[in-house]
Amino acid sequence: MNRPAPLIAIEHVAKSHDGGRTFALRDVTLHVEAGTFLAMVGASGAGKTTLMKCINRLVEPDSGSVHVDGKPVSKLDAPTLRRSIGYVFQGIGLFPHMSVAENIGITPQLLGWSPPDIMARTRELLDLVELPQSYSTRIPAALSGGQQQRVAVARAIAARPRIVLMDEPFGALDPLTRDTIGTAYRALHERLALTTVMVTHDMQDAILLADRITVMSAGHIVANDTPISLMGSIAAADTPPEVAALLAMPKRRAERISAIMTRDTEATGRSHE
């Protein structure tokens, strides 16, 4: 198969935070094709966030290389690189002293867009993330968690990046909001033809939203495939047990929920008799 060059190419990357005693990443290679929604899963400390931060140089690898769109990121000016890549934070990370509009418009402003352009783009984005225009002058603290995360998404895509990185974007939200925003973001990903890398430790999110799932463990990638293939491999003999356990979890929970619902339905049915 003659595949196009990957938009993000991570090759043999290693990273230690303590001068080589322990490694957050060990010889990791990962390619992300343009248009892919990739979810990185794994236990805490598996190296997911570190790996993702290598893409926009929030983390500098000790060895190996990272290419974005064919160019080695280590040769690019870090602020310039980051302005071309959207980023949604764990714990939201909005600037508390700036209004919603200022938060959304920050990267365009850093890129030197004209104020009318920034204003028009902010308006467009508020519509896109389904927030009322009247919110533009509010400060983040005056918004609910879900609304704040919508603003964070708008900020990430404000300067029309091709790539969006998301670090546990929905972790702080209640389940209902999390579902709504996750679905809404997936729609945006399609509509804007984005390439998304999302770190999560929620397998359900990964399965429901992503095209590919990368499973990490102790600084290694232990699996990297589509959700369907991965789910199918749970019982396979060559699947590492920690991967199998991780993958089996949503399925097991879904089965337990359906079991409870069946029992409840029966119980309610009887009480009406």
Partner 1 sequence: MNERIANALEVLPDYLSRHVLLCATALAFGIFTALPLAVFAARAPRLRAIALTMASVVQTIPGLALLALFYPLLLGISVLTNSMFGFSLPALGFLPTVLALTLYALLPILRNALAGLAGINPAIIEAADAVGMTPRQRLWRVEVPLAAPVAMAGIRTAAVWTIGAATLSTSVGQTSLGNYIFSGLQTENWVFVLFGCAAAAALALLVDQLLGLIEAGAIHRSHKRIALGFAVLALGTGLALVPLSGGTPSYRIGAKNFSEQFILAELMTQQLEAQGATTQRQEGLGSAIAFRALANSDIDVYVDYSGTLWTNVMDRRDVPPRGTMIEEITRHLAERHGVVVLGSLGFENAYALAMRRGRARELGINTIEDLARHASRLTFGTDLEFLSRPEWAALRQAYGLEFAIQRSFSPTFMYRAIEDGSVDVITAFSSDGRIAAQDLVVLADPKSAIPSYDALVLISPKRAKDTRLAGALVPLIGKISVERMREANLMVDRDIDKKSPKEAAQFLAKSLGLSGN
What is the size of the binding site for partner 1 (CB under 8 A)? 24
Q: Compare residues 78 and 187 and give the one whose CB is closer to partner 1.
A: 78
Q: List Cα–Cα distances, 7 to 28, 33, 116, 162, 195, in angstroms.
A: 17, 5, 32, 9, 8
Structure tokens at 192: 């804007």
Binding segment for partner 1 (CB under 8 A), chosen from 1-9, 78-86, 180-188, 244-252, is 78-86
Using CB under 8 A as the binding rule, the residues of this chain from 38 to 77 that contact partner 1 are: 56, 58
Q: What is the DSSP string of 20-75?
A: TSS-SEEEEEEEE-TT-EEEEEESTTSSHHHHHHHHTTSS--SEEEEEETTEEGGG
Q: For residue 241, state whether it binds partner 1 (rule: CB under 8 A).
A: no
Q: For residue 19, state whether it binds partner 1 (rule: CB under 8 A).
A: no
Member of 41, 106, 173, 210 binding partner 1 (CB under 8 A): 106
Closest by CA position to 172, among listed 90, 52, 96:
90
Binding segment for partner 1 (CB under 8 A), chosen from 92-100, 121-129, 204-212, 219-227, is 92-100
Q: Compare residues 79 and 269 and give the one whose CB is closer to partner 1.
A: 79
Note whether 7 and 195 are within 8 A (CB). yes
Residues that bind partner 1 (CB under 8 A): 56, 58, 78-84, 87, 89-91, 93-97, 106-107, 110-111, 139, 155
